Chain A
Amino acid sequence: MNLAQLQQAFRRWLVNASDESAQLLGSNHVGLAVYQNNYRAQLVGCLEQAFPNLRRWLGEQAFLAASITHIDNHPPHAWTLDAYPEGFHATLKDVFPQNPDVHELAWIESALNEAFVAADAQPLALEALAELDWDTAVLQLTPSLRCHDLTTNAEAIWSALWQETCAPEAVMLEQAGGLLVWRRQFTSRLRQVDALELQAVQQVQADGSFAGLCEFLVQRLGEDAGVMQAGEYLAAWLGSELIVGVRDV
């Protein structure tokens, strides 16, 4: 057995714990069990750390069962364990197909984790806006921003769990909305928005053009209300450091 074959056998042992791979590795069951245990405990710990509030929401047993299903089906690939929790979302959809609250809670915690270590950006100085030609201005959103549709009260559930107060029961929203997660300096933010603001943010994320944003809002709200809404969003997004750059093209 060469080195590559030995490492493949070790991989099979860790992932499947097959007798055949144990035999190839010399059947030292005590030693093999230590590595098997380290591997699984590390991944369970990684998911627990990434989703503390989802774990509270599901209960320890249900969370652990979903984690084990995930670990069995999705061995890690990336060099960093930070990447491992991303894929948990798909497993949760399989295990809890009828629970959009669970999927949305998982999204919130994943997005907060990503935003925590996303690239830095300086808030925009207001002087940068003074000379700007708004017809051609391109807005740059913070690299930490993550957006997602919201169909349940997952934001309220997450906030209650985070504050360790009594969480409300899961319910569907009367009108679907959206979630924004980003980081201001070193503080991660979560905000629930209505569907219009979510689409407006996604519009700017896609092409950055302020004129494009106005056009989108005018189509939705009419000429005067659309332009006014664009101005209001602009002011709010600047104030909350969602916009970190602006340029003329």
Chain B
Amino acid sequence: MSTSNPHFSGYGLGLRKEHYCDFLETSVPVDFVEVISENFMVAGGQPRHILRQVRERYPVALHGVSMSIGTAEGLDTDYLRRLKSLVDEIEPLFVSDHLSWSRSGGFNAHDLLPVPYTDEALDRVCANIHQAQDVLGRTMLFENPSSYLAFEGACMTEWEFITAMARRTGCELLLDVNNVFVSASNHGFDALAFLDGIPAERVRQVHLAGHSQGRDILIDSHDSPVCTGVWELYARAMQRLGPVATMIERDDEIPPLAELLQELSMARTLGAAL
């Protein structure tokens, strides 16, 4: 990898069970792997053991889905404590989660629910990010989720919200290009305006994934290859951001590793053209 960007961490893949053997027994040509943090926030057993072995061979990014950074009532301290213990052990390349919420009044939806882009929500998100970064003792990355619903009463766009969030908390960004594509289509905004609107210098990582066509709406399903429209948007994003660590997320219909590496080589080609 040749780059002038000191933050560039190369090209990676999400580590999924189906490929554990490939990653542990062969030398997979990736610069890092990303795992879902919660799968490893357990007391012991094989998952933690495998992660330790993987970590000996590859840099690891910890990607969370349950921090619920947009929750109105503050973060779950037990959750933060366990994540901190995992972070201390793994010394990850990145620690990320989503700009979304899942917890409310003791209920947990286990989904990435949308945040209203209001001043009140921005205050809450920023306070929660401060709390998380203080406990973890490091900067986190937050990802733009796909959304299927926009709330009345929003006083800013998603990218304005993200920009203010990054400025106020010092957090960094995980740009999911597929999620921009899906949300832009679902809500009728201009994906390029999103790319132009976010602070480029804060983007540390990019996700690419496949989506599917639901009834009247695009669904972020992570069960198919990255589509042409998303590759085009990625190329535009790279022109604007410069080289940024990029990986492919596949969570369903998981193909042989060689197929994902083939997809990843497309990202390398687009990155090398910069």
Contact = CB atoms under 8 A, between A and B. Distances in A.
24 contacts: A2-B72, A3-B70, A3-B118, A4-B104, A7-B72, A7-B101, A10-B109, A15-B107, A25-B151, A28-B149, A30-B148, A31-B217, A34-B149, A34-B219, A35-B148, A39-B109, A43-B110, A79-B103, A79-B108, A80-B66, A117-B42, A117-B47, A119-B44, A120-B48
B191 to A, nearest CB: 18
A34 B109 CA distance: 13
Contacts of A118: 43-45
- Interface on chain B toward A: helix, strand, loop, or mixed SS? loop
B270 to A, nearest CB: 30
Interface stretch (B22-30, B73-81, B85-93, B200-208): B73-81
Interface of B: 38, 41-49, 66, 68, 70-73, 76, 78-79, 101, 103-111, 113, 116, 118, 120-121, 124, 147-153, 186, 214-217, 219
A117 B45 CA distance: 5
B110 A42 contact: yes
B107 A117 contact: no
A194 interface: no
Given A28-B149, A79-B78, A80-B38, A2 B44 contact: no
A26 to B, nearest CB: 5
A81 B151 contact: no
Given A11-B105, A30-B148, A116-B46, A80 B41 contact: yes
Contacts of A14: 109
- Interface on chain A toward B: helix, strand, loop, or mixed SS? helix
B216 A4 contact: no
B256 to A, nearest CB: 22
Nearest to A121: B44
A197 to B, nearest CB: 25
Nearest to B153: A1
Contact of B151 (A26, A80, A116, A144): A26
| Closest 10 pairs between A and B when the two form their complex, measured CB to CB | A31-B149, A120-B44, A117-B42, A4-B72, A7-B104, A31-B148, A119-B43, A34-B148, A3-B72, A186-B46
A26 B44 contact: no
B109 A11 contact: yes
A143 interface: yes
B107 A2 contact: no
Contacts of A120: 43-45, 48-49
A6 interface: yes
Nearest to B64: A79
Interface string A41-66: 01100100000000000000000000
Contacts of A119: 43-44
A78 interface: yes
Contacts of A80: 38, 41, 66
A38 B15 CA distance: 23
Given A11-B107, A31-B148, A79 B217 contact: no
Given A31-B148, A42-B111, A143-B43, A8 B105 contact: yes
A78 B42 CA distance: 13
A191 interface: no
Contacts of B111: 35, 38-39, 42
A19 interface: no
Contact of A34 (B45, B48, B217): B217
B217 to A, nearest CB: 5
Contacts of B48: 117, 120
Nearest to B45: A117
Contacts of A30: 148, 215-217
A226 B27 CA distance: 57
Nearest to A84: B110
A76 B216 contact: no
A25 to B, nearest CB: 7
Interface in A23-37: 25-26, 28, 30-32, 34-35
B72 A77 contact: no
